[in-house]
Amino acid sequence: MQTPAPQSPVSATPQDDGALFDRIADALRERGYAVCPNALPPALCAALLAQLQAMNSADFSRAGVGREEDWTLNNFVRSDAICWITGASPAGGDWLDWASRLRQHLNRQLLLGLFSFESHFAHYRPGDFYRKHLDAFRGDTNRVLSVVAYLNPDWQAPDGGELLMYLDAEGGNTLKVLPGLGTVVVFLSEEFPHEVLPARRDRYSIAGWYRVNTSRGDRIDPPQ
Ligand SMILES: O=C(O)CCC(=O)C(=O)O
Ligand SMILES: [Fe+2]
C-alpha cells in the first residue's frame, strides 16, 4: 500500500500539480508558452486574495523598467504598482513553494537549469497599462522563463486588461488572455513580446521570472 504524500498547508494537491506541471512542460516544449485557466490551487488563490485585501496602496510602489543601475521610472512604458514577494507572509511563502515545485518539475522535464525565482504582486488601476515589451533580451540577462498568475475573481471580457502576447516575429499572430482568478501563463522570456491592455477595473496579478545562474568571478548574479 502506498503511503499518502504529506499535505501542504494550502493545497492537498501536489499530485494534481504534477499533471498541470506536465501540461506546462509539454506546451513549453511544443510552443514556448503555456496558458492555463484554473491552474493555481483554489486554496492558494484564496490565501493570496486575502493577503492582497490586507495590503494597502502603501505596500505597493511604482514599477520601473530595467535592472539595477539601469532601473528607471517610465510612465510611458508602464503605469502599474508592484510589491516584491519575499515569503514573509504565509500566502507569499505558499506561492514561492508552488513556484519552486514548478521550477523543479521543469528542470527535470526540460533540463532548463532554472536556478532562482523572483516575483512581485502587481496592481493596475483602471486605465493602467504595460506597453509591448520583452522580459529579457538575448545575452543580456538571466531571466529565462516568465510566469504570470492572475488574482481577479469574476473577470469578464468587457473588463479589458488582457495580456496580449505576440506569437510570431511579424506581430500578426497574437493571443489575448483574460486575467481571471487562477489563470497562469508561462512563457520563454526572450521569445515573446507582450503587453498589458488597459482595464476598466482594478487588476491584480503576480509576475515572476525564473533565472539561470550567471555568476562569474566576484559578481554574484542573481544576487542571492
Ligand atoms: O500582468 C500581466 O499580464 C503581464 C505583466 C508583465 O508583462 C510584466 O510584469 O513583465
Ligand atoms: Fe512582461
Helix and strand numbers, DSSP H then E, in the chain: 3, 11
Alpha carbon nearest to ligand 1 atom 6, residue: 207
Dig out the grid coordinates for 190 from the structure.
526572450
Q: Give me the CATH number covering residue 104.
A: 2.60.120.620
Cβ of residue 148 lying under 6 Å from some atom of ligand 1: yes
Considering its fold, how many domains does the chain have in total?
1
The two most distant CA atoms of the chain are separated, in Å, by 60
List b or e across 161-174, with b for residues whose CB sees 16 or more CB atoms inside 10 angstroms: bbbebbbeeeeeee
Looking at the domain assignment, is residue 131 inside a domain? yes
**DSSP labels for 187-219?**
EETTT--EEE--BSS-EEEEEEEEE----BTTB
Question: Would you call 88 exposed, middle or buried from its count of C-beta atoms within 10 A (0-12, 13-18, 19+)?
Answer: exposed
Report DSSP state, residue 170: T
Tell me the average pLDDT across 13-38. 91
The span from the CA of 195 to the CA of 103, in Å, is 24
Tell me the average pLDDT across 52-62. 87
Alpha carbon nearest to ligand 1 atom 10, residue: 135
pLDDT greater than 70 at residue 22:
yes
pLDDT greater than 60 at residue 223:
no
Structural domain of 128: 14-211
Tell me the average pLDDT across 43-49. 96
| Ligand 2 center from residue 3 Cα (angstroms) | 41
Looking at the domain assignment, is residue 58 inside a domain? yes
Looking at the domain assignment, is residue 72 inside a domain? yes
Confidence of residue 7 (pLDDT cuts 50, 70, 90): very low
Looking at the domain assignment, is residue 216 inside a domain? no
- Predicted TM-score (pTM) of the model is 0.87
Ligand 1, residue 177: give the atom nearest the CA: 3
Q: Which residue in 179, 138, 145 sits closest to 159, CA to CA? A: 179
- Spell out which residues have Cβ within 5 A of ligand 2, the ion: 135
Alpha carbon nearest to ligand 1 atom 8, residue: 207
Dig out the grid coordinates for 42 from the structure.
483554489
Cβ of residue 128 lying under 6 Å from some atom of ligand 1: no
Mean pLDDT of the chain: 87
Looking at the domain assignment, is residue 4 inside a domain? no
Alpha carbon nearest to ligand 1 atom 3, residue: 163
Looking at the domain assignment, is residue 29 inside a domain? yes
Looking at the domain assignment, is residue 220 inside a domain? no
pLDDT greater than 70 at residue 39:
yes
pLDDT greater than 60 at residue 3:
no
